[in-house]
């Protein structure tokens, strides 16, 4: 695991477990994390739709990086922070777009 002290490993496991529990049980939790969105940019209007959804959720988006993977596909990496319920709403909007191939996310609860 890379820890020199067993107590530090145990502390991190406990912190992660508490954070995971809070993510599942409290949509009002303040979190920080990222959303990875893999999509086919040749689908009509998807770039525009992604931008519009981002503007609708500007209060939770800290930054976005756009990567051209090949001729058809792009990857957006969005750093988010705010209430979990607001970020999950952003996720739902992105997931339902035609052309989205995958969406993955990871969050840390602030203050645990």
Q: What is the pLDDT of residues 65-85, one digit of tens each?
A: 999 999 999 999 999 999 999
**pTM for the complete prediction?**
0.81
Task: Write down the pLDDT at residue 35.
Answer: 97
Give me the mean pLDDT over the 37-65 stretch: 96
CATH architecture for the domain at 6-109:
2-Layer Sandwich (3.30)
- Cα–Cα distance for residue pair 33/29, rounded to 1 Å: 12
CA–CA–CA angle 79, 67, 52 (5° rounding): 60
Contact 23, 31 (CB under 8 A): yes
pLDDT in tens, 10-27: 655 555 555 555 666 677
Enumerate the domain spans of the chain. Answer: 6-109
């Amino acid at each position: 695991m890379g820890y020199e002290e067993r107590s530090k490993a145990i502390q991190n496991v406990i912190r992660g477990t508490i954070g995971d529990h809070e993510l599942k049980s409290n949509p009002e939790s303040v979190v920080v994390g990222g959303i990875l969105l893999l999509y086919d940019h040749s689908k009509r209007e998807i770039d525009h739709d992604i931008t519009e959804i981002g503007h609708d959720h500007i209060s939770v988006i800290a930054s976005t990086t756009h990567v051209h993977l090949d001729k058809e596909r792009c990857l957006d990496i969005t750093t988010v922070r705010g209430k979990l319920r607001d970020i999950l709403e952003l996720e739902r909007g992105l997931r339902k777009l035609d052309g989205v191939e995958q969406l993955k996310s990871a969050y840390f609860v602030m203050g645990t």
